Amino acid sequence: MRVANLSFRYGRRAPWVLSGAELSLAEGDVVEVVGPNGTGKSTLLRLLAGLLRPVRGAIEDRPPVVGYAPERFPADQPFTVSSYLRHMAAVRRADPAVVGEWSERLGMAHLLDQRLPDLSKGSAHKVGLAQALLCRPGLLILDEPFAGLDTATRAELPRVVGEVSARGGIVVVSDHQGDLRAFPGLRRCEVRDGAVRALDSTDSTRVETLVGSPGASSGGASPAGAGRAVSSTVRAAVLRVEVPAAEATGLADRLRAEGYRVDMDSGGPANQDTPLPEAAE
Amino acid sequence: MIALARFRLVGYIASHRALQPFIGLLPLLAIMYATPVPAGQELGAMADSAGMLIPVFAWGARGLLDREPDEQRMISLVATGRGELFSGLLAAYAYAGVLASISLIALVTRLSADPTAGMLAIGVLLHVFSITAGVALGALTSRPILPSPAVSTIALIVGYLVTLMVSTSTSVGQWLAVPVMAWMRDAHHGLLTDRLPLLSVQSLLWPVVGIAAYAWLRRTRP
C-alpha cells in the first residue's frame, strides 16, 4: 500500500491538513502515527481507511478488507452489544460465532446483553475494537485504541495487532499513550506541518511471529490466538525487576504480550517454557 | 448491502424516531379520509394521497439517514464502501413503502365504490413515484449534505413547496419539477390513464437526478 503525494483539506478555503505526504506500507507492517493534537493524525487514518478522498495525490493498493475503529465509538445506538456485533458480522459477512470469540478475548463477554448507551467509555471502546476485528482485516486502522481500556485488554491488544501483522495485514495505529512503543518491529511516523515523517524505530529488531493455532499459521489470526512464540535476532539487555508476588503473573503476561521474553524466579506456570535468550548485558 | 439496510432499518425503528413521520401521517389520513371518497373519485383520491405524502416520505428518509451517529456511518462506509449509500436509500425506500401501504389501505377502506385492478395499479404506481421523490428529497436534506438541522428542515419544506408551485403550470413546469399537481389535475379530470407514460418519465426525472446528486455529493462527505 502506498501513499503518494497526498494532500488534503476539508474545504476549498480551509487550510491544508496534509500536503505532499508520502508513506509506503508493506504487508505485516505495524505503524504508529504520532504527532501533537490537531495536526491531522485522525485525518490521515481516515484517508488510509478510504473514508476521505485525497484532494491531490493518491492512495494505491489498499487491501480490500479494512477494519476501522474510530477514536470514539458511537455508543448512542439502540442495540445491545450482542445484537450490534451480530449485525456488524452480517454486514461483514463474517461467521456470527466470531462475535462470541472476540467478546471473550477482549474481556466483554459479560456485557453482551447490555445496551450500548449503558456502557462505560472503555467498554464501548472494546465494542468498537471488536467490530473492526470481526472481518479479518487486511488493513486495520485503530484510532487511539488503548484509550480507556482495562489492563487485561491493554495487554491483549498488542497480541491481536501482532496476529494481524503475522498474517500479512497492515496495522496503522494512532496512539498517544505509547502502549505499542515496545512492539517489536514497530514503525513510527510523525504527522507535523502537513507532512508525514518517518521516525527512528524503537529498535531494529527483526521479529518473526508465529501464531500457534493452525488456522492462524495458514494466514489468519484466530481470535483464540494462544501460543504465540517469538524468535528474534536481538541485541538485548537483561533487567531484573522485583514486584509483589500477586502482580508478577499479570506483569509477565503483559510484557510477553508486548514481545519480551520473561523469566520468573518465583516459579509458577508463566516460567515453564520461556527460558531467557542468550543476551548481552 | 441488504444486511446493512436491515441494520439501519432496525436501528431506526428501535430508536423510536420512526414514529415521528408515522405520527405525522396519521392526521393527514384523518383529514383526507374524514368523509368517504365518492364513487368515481378513486383515481383522484389516489393522486391526492401520492402528492400529499411526499413530505412524509422525505421526513422518514431524512430521519432514517440521520439516525446513525457520524462515526457509525463511517464504520459502515469502511465495511461496505459505496454499499453504505445504497443501503441507506434501500432502507429509506422500505420504510416509506410501509407508510405508503398504510395510506393505501386507509384509502381503499374509505372508497364508496370498489376500485378496479387498473385503478389500484395506477394508485400504487403514483405512490412509487411519490416515494422516489420523497426519498430523493430526504437524502438531499440529510446530515452529510446539510449538517444544520434547521437548514435541513427548511430545505425539505421549501423543496416540497417549490415542487408544488413549479408543477402548477401546465406544460413547461411539468418538466422542471416532479409533476405533482399534474397527477392530481389529470386524475380528477379523467386524463391520467392516457397521460401516464409521459407523466411517468416526468415523475422519475428529477428524483433520479436528485439521487444521483446525493451519490455524487457523498463522495466527499462521508
Question: What's the pLDDT score for residue B130?
Answer: 97
In chain B, which residue's Cα lies nearest the Cα of A76? Answer: B69
User: In Å, how far is B74's CA from the nearest CA of chain A?
Assistant: 7
Question: Cell 372508497 sits at which residue?
Answer: B111
Extract the C-alpha cell encoding A82: 450482542
User: In Å, how far is A27's CA from the nearest CA of chain B?
Assistant: 20
Question: What's the pLDDT score for residue A206?
Answer: 36
pLDDT at A219 over 70: no
Query: Domain limits of chain B?
Result: 2-217
pLDDT per position as a tens digit, A37-66: 888 999 999 999 999 999 999 999 999 999
Question: What's the pLDDT score for residue A229?
Answer: 38
**CB atoms B6 and A87 under 8 Å:** yes
B20: number of CA atoms within 13 Å, CB side? Answer: 15
The enclosing H or E element of B124 equals helix B117-140
Which among A141, A145, A140 is positioned nearest to A166, based on CA atoms?
A: A140
Q: Give the span between the Cα atoms of A107 and A148, in whole angstroms.
A: 13
Residues B57 and B100: beta-carbon distance below 8 Å: yes
**CB atoms A53 and B79 under 8 Å:** no
Inter-helix orientation angle B19-32/B83-109, to 10°: 30
User: In Å, how far is A212's CA from the nearest CA of chain B?
Assistant: 28
> Touching check for B6 and chain A: CB below 8 Å?
yes
Q: How confident is the model at residue A70 (pLDDT cuts 50, 70, 90)?
A: very high
What secondary structure does DSSP assign to A67-79, as a single string? EEE-SS----SSS
Q: Is A14 left (phi over 0), alpha (psi -120 to 50) or beta?
A: beta
Q: Coil, helix or strand for A237?
A: coil
Cβ-count burial B54-86 (b if 16+ within 10 Å, e if not): bbbbbbbbbbbbbbbbebbbbbbbbbbeebbbb
Question: What's the pLDDT score for residue A259?
Answer: 63
**CB atoms A77 and B71 under 8 Å:** no
- Chain A residues with a Cβ under 8 Å from any Cβ in chain B: 46, 49-53, 66-68, 70, 72-74, 76-79, 87-88, 90-93, 128, 131-132, 135, 141
Question: What's the pLDDT score for residue A264?
Answer: 72
Which among A48, A94, A83, A39 is positioned nearest to A69, based on CA atoms?
A: A48
Question: Cell 405512490 sits at which residue?
Answer: B127
**CB atoms B78 and A53 under 8 Å:** no
pLDDT at A215 over 70: no
Question: What's the pLDDT score for residue A19?
Answer: 93
> Touching check for B161 and chain A: CB below 8 Å?
no
| Helices (H), ranges, chain A | 41-49, 81-91, 97-105, 121-133, 151-166, 214-217, 245-257
Question: What's the pLDDT score for residue B124?
Answer: 97
pLDDT at A246 over 80: no
pLDDT at A154 over 50: yes
Question: What's the pLDDT score for residue A181?
Answer: 84
Which among B188, B199, B56, B26 is positioned nearest to B126, based on CA atoms?
A: B199
The enclosing H or E element of A170 equals strand A170-174
A72, A91, A172: best mutation site toward chain B, by most B Cβ within 10 Å? A91
In chain A, which residue's Cα lies nearest the Cα of B71? Answer: A74
Output the CA angle A113-A67-A205, nearest 5 degrees: 115
* Per-position pLDDT tens, chain B of length 222: 899 999 999 999 999 999 999 999 999 999 999 999 999 999 999 999 999 999 999 999 999 999 999 999 999 999 999 899 999 999 999 999 999 999 999 999 999 999 999 999 999 999 999 999 999 999 999 999 999 999 999 999 999 999 999 988 767 777 889 999 999 999 999 999 999 999 999 999 999 999 999 999 999 888
**Burial of A195 from C-beta contacts in 10 A (0-12 / 13-18 / 19+):** middle
Q: How confident is the model at residue A208 (pLDDT cuts 50, 70, 90)?
A: very low
Q: What is the mean pLDDT of chain A?
A: 82
Residues of B in contact with A72 (CB under 8 A): 71
Which among A204, A201, A255, A161 is positioned nearest to A34, based on CA atoms?
A: A201
Question: What's the pLDDT score for residue A244?
Answer: 82
Q: C-alpha dihedral over A77, A78, A84, A87, to 10 degrees? A: -110
User: In Å, how far is B13's CA from the nearest CA of chain A?
Assistant: 9
Q: How confident is the model at residue A133 (pLDDT cuts 50, 70, 90)?
A: very high
Q: How confident is the model at residue A276 (pLDDT cuts 50, 70, 90)?
A: very low
B156: number of CA atoms within 13 Å, CB side? Answer: 26
ipTM of the complex: 0.89
Tell me how far CA of residue A268 lies from CA of A72, A156, A245, A249, A260, in angstroms.
39, 20, 10, 8, 18
User: In Å, how far is B222's CA from the nearest CA of chain A?
Assistant: 6
**CB atoms A74 and B71 under 8 Å:** yes
In chain B, which residue's Cα lies nearest the Cα of A139? Answer: B78
Q: How confident is the model at residue A243 (pLDDT cuts 50, 70, 90)?
A: confident
Sheet with A56-60, strands from edge to edge, namely A18-24, A2-8, A56-60
Question: What's the pLDDT score for residue A254?
Answer: 75
Tell me the residue type at A250: G
User: In Å, how far is A36's CA from the nearest CA of chain B?
Assistant: 22
